């Protein structure tokens, strides 16, 4: 029997800035490496359900060649803990929220995204109330995390 595709869910608070950016970056990097994966993103809060990613995130991502086509905001659902192999929070608050609702048998799937990168920074900070520089920094961190995660998946 063939091995099923590995699956990755990126999670932040609103699912309009950090996690959809991670989804867009990781989707491109996986395609570039011919990795066939299931990739999605979601938020621990549902304030923006159905919305497109934040325009500021999209603008910076598009400048760097990432596509946000079809990316829409949704809230984390109980089924996600069954479906996904990797459930990657952007910051420690996301991890706490996820662990509160994640069944015990799946808690080892919940990890900080930047644990895959070799960086001083351990969390991707929320850029929502800041300026353009914050969004650029977020994308820098996401690119590092995505490179690390690609390496891990290629090695496994
Ligand atoms: P995200 O950023 O968690 O990276 O999507 C946020 C987006 C919206 C809000 C907070 C964070 N908000 O409070 O509406």
Q: How far apart are CA 3 and CA 24, in angstroms?
A: 24
Q: Give me the sign of the Cα torsion angle 81, 92, 15, 37.
A: negative
The two three-digit tokens of residue 33, written as one number: 């490496």
Do the Cβ atoms of 7 and 39 come closer than 8 Å? yes
Ligand 1 centre from 126 Cα, in Å?
A: 7
Ligand 1 centroid–CA 127 distance in Å is: 8
Q: Whose CA is nearest to atom 10 of ligand 1?
A: 14
* Domains of the chain as residue ranges with CATH: 7-155 (3.40.50.2300)
Digitized pLDDT (tens) for each residue of the chain, 156 residues in all? 556 799 999 999 999 999 999 999 999 999 999 999 999 999 999 999 999 999 999 999 999 999 999 999 999 999 999 999 999 999 999 999 999 999 999 999 999 999 999 999 999 999 999 999 999 999 999 999 999 999 999 998
Distance 105 CA to ligand 1 centre (A): 29
- For atom 13 of ligand 1, which residue has the closest CA? 14
Q: What is the pTM of this model?
A: 0.97
């Amino acid at each position: 029997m063939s091995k099923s595709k590995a699956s990755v869910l990126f999670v932040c608070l609103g699912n309009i800035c950090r996690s959809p950016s991670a989804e867009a970056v990781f989707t491109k990097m996986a395609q570039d490496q011919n990795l066939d994966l299931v990739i999605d993103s979601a938020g621990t809060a549902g304030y923006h359900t159905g919305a497109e990613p934040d325009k500021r995130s999209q603008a910076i991502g598009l400048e760097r060649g990432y596509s946000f086509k079809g990316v829409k905001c949704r809230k984390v659902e109980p089924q996600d803990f069954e479906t996904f192999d990797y459930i990657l929070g952007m910051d420690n608050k996301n991890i706490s929220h996820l662990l509160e609702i994640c069944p015990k048998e799946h808690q080892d799937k919940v990890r900080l995204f930047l644990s895959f990168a070799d960086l001083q920074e351990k969390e991707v900070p929320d850029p929502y109330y800041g300026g353009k520089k914050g969004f650029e920094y977020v994308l820098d961190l996401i690119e590092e995390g995505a490179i690390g995660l690609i390496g891990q998946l290629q090695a496994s």
